[in-house]
Chains A and B, each alone.
Chain A
Amino acid sequence: MKNLLQVQDVYQQIRGRVILDKISFDVASEEIVGLFGPNGAGKSTLLRKIANTEQMIGNVVINGIPNDFTKFRTDVILVTGDIEIPRLMTLRNYCKLLSTSFEIDNNFVEEYCQKLEIDIDARLGSLSKGNKEMAQLIACLATNSKLVLLDEPFSAIDIYKRDVILEMIIDSKLSGKTIIITTHLIDEISPILDKVAYIHDTKLEFYLDSEEIQEQSDSVASYLKERFKGE
């Protein structure tokens, strides 16, 4: 399968402290990759580098085109809970705004607003934290970005809605998207992953097919515990 993303020797240090130490891996088109690691391991930093929102050493190539910090690219989109969403806008307005740069699948927006019980005409600032996260997820997954980076997409979302989020991610893969996802909810996300990447102590410890992990352990979570016990 063709590689959609190539990450080559990404290195970052802040005030003399190394955050990411020469991270390299490739992601094939239409795969779902789980990016795991302890808090502060550098997962979010790596996603920002891939999303072209932060400058650092090393190369990121998406769809054959290297990231250039001065250029805006529409083939990658980063979804994070911290991002400032336009509070005065409704989700409908927000999608319109995004449609100036991206193609938006409006059917997708409507379907998942209904399934997640999000009022498309409510002011985004009036939504609860979980609903804001879901509104942002819907809008970003509805774009035609080939590569979607999800940083902790479940953090404020209740367990009943999480299943719908998984459904959204499965649909996005089937419509041709490649997805990298960080989350602490390893058990819930693992069955839908193609690959598992683990960052530990600034380095990429391993990057494996999720089937390879299943052959060795009951679950990805128990594999990680087994491998890193005592640390």
Chain B
Amino acid sequence: MKKKLLFITIAETLMEAIISGELTSGSQVDSVRDMAVKYKVNPKTIQKAFEYLESKQIFFTKPGEGRFVTEDETKLQSIKAMLIDEQIDEFISVVSKYDLSTDELIEILKQKLN
């Protein structure tokens, strides 16, 4: 099985930062150098994460000004949906070990959430 590459992990961390508001929509993104220092990874990895986010139109470049976070509300919603989807999948793979029925699981969740 192929493992998740580091640049994808970084890209996901940045998407989480957008959703949590740590990176505000429309704001300028830190430089490759500053991000590399912050996350202690190779600048090439940051560059790839940026390119990945640009390909998904989550980041965009203004010529001569730098890189910014999208302000497109539907994009932001889709990031949120994607992250939730991924984390639910992870959750399911963890709880599937305990041999719970769907009803039992929903019951536990309901109690926890109340």
Contact = CB atoms under 8 A, between A and B. Distances in A.
Interface of A: 32, 163, 166-167, 170-171, 173-174, 188, 191-194, 210-211, 214-218
B70 interface: no
A214 B5 contact: yes
Contacts, number: 45
Contact of B40 (A166, A171, A217, A218): A166
A35 to B, nearest CB: 16
A163 B37 CA distance: 8
A218 B42 contact: no
B106 interface: no
B6 A214 contact: yes
Max count, chain B CB within 10 A of own CB: residue among A166, A170, A217: A170
Nearest to A175: B33
B43 A170 contact: yes
Interface in B33-47: 33, 36-37, 39-45
Contacts of B112: none
B43 A191 contact: no
Interface residues of B, number: 14
A126 B86 CA distance: 54
A78 B49 CA distance: 33
A192 B3 contact: no
A217 B33 contact: no
Given A166-B40, A173-B42, A191-B45, 20 more contacts: A32-B42, A163-B40, A170-B36, A170-B42, A171-B33, A174-B33, A188-B40, A191-B6, A191-B41, A192-B36, A192-B40, A193-B42, A210-B42, A211-B5, A214-B3, A214-B5, A215-B2, A215-B3, A215-B5, A216-B3
B3 A191 contact: no
26 contacts: A166-B37, A166-B40, A167-B37, A167-B40, A170-B33, A170-B37, A170-B42, A170-B43, A171-B33, A171-B37, A173-B42, A174-B33, A174-B36, A191-B6, A191-B40, A191-B45, A192-B36, A192-B40, A194-B42, A194-B44, A211-B5, A215-B2, A215-B3, A216-B3, A217-B3, A218-B3
